[in-house]
Structure 1
Amino acid sequence: MKLNYKIILHLLGLLLVFNGGFMLLSALISLICQDGVTFDLLISGAVAVLLGLLAMYNTKDHSKEMNKREGYVVVTFGWIIMTLSGTLPYMISGAIPSFTDAFFETMSGYTTTGASILNDIEIVPEGVLFWRSLTHWIGGMGIIVLAVAILPLLGIGGMQMFAAEAPGPSADKLHPRITDTAKRLWLIYFGYTAAETILLKVAGMSFFDAINHSLCTLSTGGFSTKNASVAYWNDQPIIQYIIMFFMFLAGTNFVLSYFAFKGKVQKVIQDEEFKLYFKFIAIFTLISAVIIYFKADISQSTIYHPMVWGRAESSVRHALFQVLSVITTTGFVTADYTAWTPFLVVFFFGLMFLGGSAGSTSGGVKVVRHLILIKNGFLEFKRTLHPSAVVPVRYNIRAVTGGIVFNIQGFFILYMLSFIVGALVFSMFNIDFKSAIGLAASSLGNVGPALGDFGPVNNYGGLPPLGKWWASFLMLIGRLELFTVLILLTPFFWTKK
């Protein structure tokens, strides 16, 4: 079957126009802040918009038919085109003159990884910082729409399971429900962002810092306007509690937020993934807090302020913040968890493989996949004892089809293989073992902070150029659920039938 290249180019052009529009918004912020890069951002936005309009004009006679193969191409190349065009504000303004570094920073933004090569964030012009945060926000919303509205239609990653309960399309109806889904999700996403901005401003942040951190929290991104990240406000716990609350929301399935606003709270409370997500956070926070309280040196200013509430509160707050940050793959930092105890270093490394809920902006494997794998593993014991019995895996009462279980198993195996290969390639750049496995887990899971030389208080500036390109690739495949990108690398995908 021949690919419909015209509709692919038309949609990529539309994404460029969309991207350029946000660059022009950044130019407006630059003008308000008078940071000296307004014209640079205007040029960046104009170039993206013009290229997009040109692509759309030359493909205006495209066929409306679009099948799965075109869907894979649009999703993958859409992210790449957005990233390539997204480097313009960095390069034209001179904030990041290197194309490799600008590409890495932009890919980290759109994939909501939050890994940065910038050594001094606070000297970057406000308009560029706002653009940097916007790349998170755009990428985060794109992921929600993909997870709930698009990927179920492509049969990717077991997402069909949530499509049945989503306020959107089923596998056989693309229009108009997919449009309704996108609108509702955008409204919730925008509403949460606005609410967090207001709360952070009231709590003591400047408006500029508040809106940037809100953009990066709801997208579970992790870029900050401060070199110390959220640790900058360690003497203002209320700010950190506000960010924690919205990190928790961002890590939940946005469809559940829709149900909650519709008054269907029981659907939220009874959702198995949400319950396990909540339990994971509670248990892991308790474990971390106890160890921090008794074992970690919390006399450091990066962890504890003696004038604020006390040691117990500080231990619980930093434990909860870092657990939420890693599980939801946000990547904000209030303390260097790699300096606490060896147990907690390994502990937080393991959390990098967990991920938030499906249908959220989080990266990682996702809680529901772990849940299905665990349930299926226990049922194997029963099947061994009763080989003739039909014992289906159940999720939210409904039986999960064998196809979805196999899909999730395949995803997990592919994810772990990608992690192993990722670490091996990083080791080829003379990166030590601890740093290499941390880089692979963090890049693939879109976490941000890694281990070793690339831990929470460091950045990725010291990564060799080829290492940055490899990390960018891992970010992309991890963000787009592996299959979406990797299927394009198979020869049969391009074979005409």
Structure 2
Amino acid sequence: MNFSMIRYVIGLVMLFESAFLSLPCLIALIYHEKKGFSFWIMLFVCLIIGILFVMKKPKKTVYYAKEGFLTVAISWIVMSFFGALPFVINGDIPSVVDAMFETVSGFTTTGSSILTDVEALARCSLFWRSFTHWVGGMGVFVFVLAVMPLVGGQNIHLMRAESPGPSVGKLVPKIRKTSMILYKIYIFMTIVMVVLLLLGKLPLFDSLLLAFGTAGTGGFSILNSGCASYSPYIQYLIAIFMILFGVNFNVYYFILIKKFKDAIHYEELKYYLLFIGASVAMITYNIHSLFPTIEQAFRHALFQVGTVITTTGYASTDFNKWPEFSKFILVMLMFSGACAGSTGGGMKVSRLVIMLKTVKKELLSYLHPRTVRKVKFNGRIVEHEVIRGINVYMIAYAFVLMFSVLIISIDNFDFTSNFTAVVATLNNIGPGLNIVGPTGNFSMYSNLSKIVMIFDMLAGRLELFPMLLLINPYTWKEIKIRKNKKNKKEGHSI
């Protein structure tokens, strides 16, 4: 295990976090907020730790999948911890567990909140809270690799450990160029949305924060009413951009290089749009009697389907009051999630499609045992390792889901609330149903339950395995065994 490389990478992450913290410091200066001092404190703390960690460059720069998984998991925990401390220091969120919950929810683009009065926060705190969505949406390591590529030639392991979806590849031969392409698309789309929100007569501060939450598919609202008080233009705009950010960024790359056929025929995109279209149509029909006009029913159906399938978490209305049929569709979309390679969470459309095709293949093999069939996706044969990886992912997912529901049930809330609370955090969605619905929050849960859901948010964002590897006792047992062997060899050589 290359601990020196892990330490060095964590140091880089701390340096980047100190740079990110300069933005809420600037907001505090603009609005003359004394609470901004907490962000200045953590800026210097992160800067000092980062410098100390990167001062000594590792002699051995090669690292592999295990180092990549552990580095990403530890980095996200460390980054969330230091990102949470400003809330504790300035008193906006006095509890460390609550502050950690809110910050992890931000970085993982979950959007679940323990706050009962969002508007009471200082503007610098509101900005940092939403900016964590934007940072976490595309991924911290994608940003690090775009700006400061690491040596060693194994950067793909960091990208794979952090990026959502069943498999991660390069758009171009070099990882740095891939990261730069992704972030250029991400920044451009964010800027376009900010401009369009400004045209809708929203203030610049509100436009930025809404764009951060939409781009990162995070969903932290800056108003207690969520998105319900915005105009139809703003609601349509947010809904459309949520859906756009839920698309695999490979599609935008194909459009960028003028490979329009590849973009149009991207199989995952077709199913993604089909899921959205069918869900909006069914829910609109089911809820049209609850609204004065069919346009309102369609708008709220589009908004809620968009926010749930992309795991953004914004709400334009209280869907807790919708018929059971519509709520069931939304819960199904919570599991589906957006496309792989997007900023959205959930299982991913590609996984579901490949699983369904695998089931179809197995059924046909019973009818025609001698026929050799292959599962194809996007016109290519899906390798056995990918199918195996998806099956293992689903088993791990089911285990984490059941175990988490079991633990938080100790708080003795109703099953629907507990189940959807775990689904909402594990799939990085935000709101669930009943007490954790769009008008509720997660503040009533105990610290134990919040810690479980913090783990779920991180596990969901990092595709389970980095976090499972981190808490696996065999991981640390193996490290200890290898360390002892190394010490024995050094002793013999002396």
1:24 aligns with 2:52: no
Asked if 2 retains the 8 angstrom alpha-carbon contact of 1:149 and 1:181, the reply is no
Instruction: State which of 449, 459, 483 in structure 1 corresponds to 2:441.
Output: 459
2:8–2:58 Cα contact (<8 Å) kept: no
**Matching residue of 1:167:** 171
Partner residue, 1:284: 279
**2:163 pairs with 1:181:** no
1:62 Cα shift?
Answer: 4.0
Alignment counterpart, residue 129 of structure 1, candidates 119, 126, 131: 126
Deviation string, structure 1 residues 211-264 (Cα, Å, up to 9, x no partner):
00101101000001111111121xx11111111121011101112111112221
1:400 to 374, 382, 398: 382
Choose from 202, 213, 217 the match for 1:205. 202
Match of 1:487 in 2: 469
Q: How does 1:430-469 map to 2 (within 5 A)?
A: 430-469=412-451
2:93 to 92, 96, 99: 96
Deviation at 1:288, TM superposition (A): 0.5
Report if the CA contact (8 A) 2:111-2:313 is conserved. yes
**Cα shift at 1:427:** 0.7
Q: Which residue number corresponds to residue 42 of structure 2? A: 44
Shift of 1:28: 0.4
> 2:110 & 2:165 partners in 1: Cα distance?
23
User: Does the 8 A contact of 1:23 with 1:89 survive in 2?
Assistant: no
Counterpart of 1:364 in 2: which secondary structure?
A: coil
Distance in 2, Cα, partners of 1:363 & 1:34? 36
Task: Confirm or deny: 8 A CA contact 1:213 1:224 kept in the other structure.
Answer: yes
After superposition, residues 213-228 of structure 1 pair within 5 angstroms as 213-228=210-225
Equivalent in the alignment of 1:113 = 110
Matched, 1:248 2:243: yes
Tell me the secondary structure at the aligned position of residue 229 of structure 1. Answer: coil
Asked if structure 2 preserves the Cα contact closer than 8 Å seen for 1:157 and 1:411, the reply is no
Q: Compared with structure 1, are the counterparts of its residues 186 and 313 closer, same or farther at alpha carbon in structure 2 (3 Å cutoff)? A: same
Q: Which residue of 1 aligns with 2:83?
A: 86
How much does 1:412 deviate?
Answer: 1.6
Deviations 1:433-480 (A, max 9, x none): 111101111111000001111111111111111111111011111111
Alpha-carbon distance in structure 2 between the residues aligned to 1:257 and 1:248: 13
Distance 1:156 1:98 in 2: 31
CA contact (8 A) 2:38 2:87 kept: no
User: Alpha-carbon deviation of 1:340?
Assistant: 1.2
Aligned letter for 2:221? S
2:347 equivalent in structure 1: 365
Counterpart of 1:120, as a letter, is D
Equivalent residue letter for 2:278:
I
- Paired AA for residue 411 in structure 1: Y
Could you tell me how far apart the structure 2 residues matched to 1:17 and 1:398 are? 41
Q: Distance in 1 between the 2:414 and 2:196 partners?
A: 42
RMSD: 2.0
User: Equivalent of 1:10, from 8, 11, 14?
Assistant: 8
Q: Give the drift of 1:39.
A: 2.4
How do residues 342-353 of structure 1 correspond to structure 2 at under 5 angstroms?
A: 342-353=324-335
Q: How far, CA to CA, are the matches of 2:310 and 2:99 in structure 1? A: 25
Q: Match of 1:313?
A: 295
TM-superposed CA distance for 1:40, in Å, is 2.4
Q: Which amino acid aligns with 1:114?
A: G
Shift of 1:73: 1.0
The aligned amino acid for 1:481 is E
Contact 2:108-2:457 at 8 Å conserved across structures: yes
Q: CA deviation at 1:205?
A: 1.0
Instruction: Choose from 396, 407, 416 the match for 1:425.
Output: 407
Equivalent pair of 2:284/2:301 in contact (CA under 8 Å): yes
Contact 1:158 1:404 in 2 (8 A): no
Which residue of 322, 333, 337 maps to 1:340?
322
Encode CA deviations 1:55-85: one digit per residue, 9 max, x unaligned.
222x324421112211111110010011011
Aligned residue for 2:309?
327
User: Amino acid of the residue matched to residue 240 of structure 2?
Assistant: F
Contact preservation (8 Å) 1:144, 1:360: no
The 8 Å contact of residues 220 and 362 in structure 1, kept in 2 or not, is answered as yes
**How far apart, CA to CA, are the structure 2 residues paired with 1:36 and 1:317?**
41
**2:53 equivalent among 55, 58, 68:** 55
Contact 1:338 1:344 in 2 (8 A): no
Q: Counterpart of 1:463 in 2: which secondary structure? A: coil
Partner deviation per Cα, 1:315-352 (whole Å, 9 max, x = no partner)? 00000000010000000000111111122222212211
C-alpha displacement of 1:188: 0.8
Give, in whole Å, the separation in 2 of the partners of 1:141 and 1:492.
31
Deviations 1:185-211 (A, max 9, x none): 111111111111111011121110000
**What amino acid maps onto 1:271 in structure 2?**
Y
Q: Is the 8 A contact 1:423 1:437 kept in 2?
A: yes
Amino acid at match of 1:356: A
Shift of 1:38: 2.7
1:354, distance to aligned residue in structure 2 (A): 0.6
Matched, 1:237 2:235: no
**Number of residue pairs the alignment of both structures matches:** 469
1:373-384 pair list within 5 angstroms: 373-384=355-366
Aligned equivalents of 1:413, 1:187: Cα separation in 2: 36
Are residues 335 and 192 of structure 1, via their aligned partners in 2, closer, same or farther at CA, if it must alter by over 3 Å?
same
Q: How many Å separate the matches in 2 of 1:360 and 1:347?
A: 22
Q: Percent of aligned pairs with the same residue?
A: 38
Cα distance change of structure 1 residues 138 and 335 upon mapping to structure 2, 3 Å threshold:
same
Q: Kindly tell me: are residues 70 and 141 of structure 1, through their superposed partners in 2, closer, same or farther at Cα, counting changes over 3 Å?
A: same
Residue 29 to residue 157, structure 1, CA distance change in 2 (3 Å): closer
Over 3 Å counting, the alpha-carbon distance change for 1:157 and 1:362 in structure 2 is: closer
Distance 2:259 2:399 in 1: 40
Write the distance in 2 (CA, Å) between the matches of 1:14 and 1:396: 36
Given that 2:166 and 2:351 are in contact with CA atoms closer than 8 Å, whether structure 1 keeps it comes out as no
1:158–1:407 Cα contact (<8 Å) kept: no
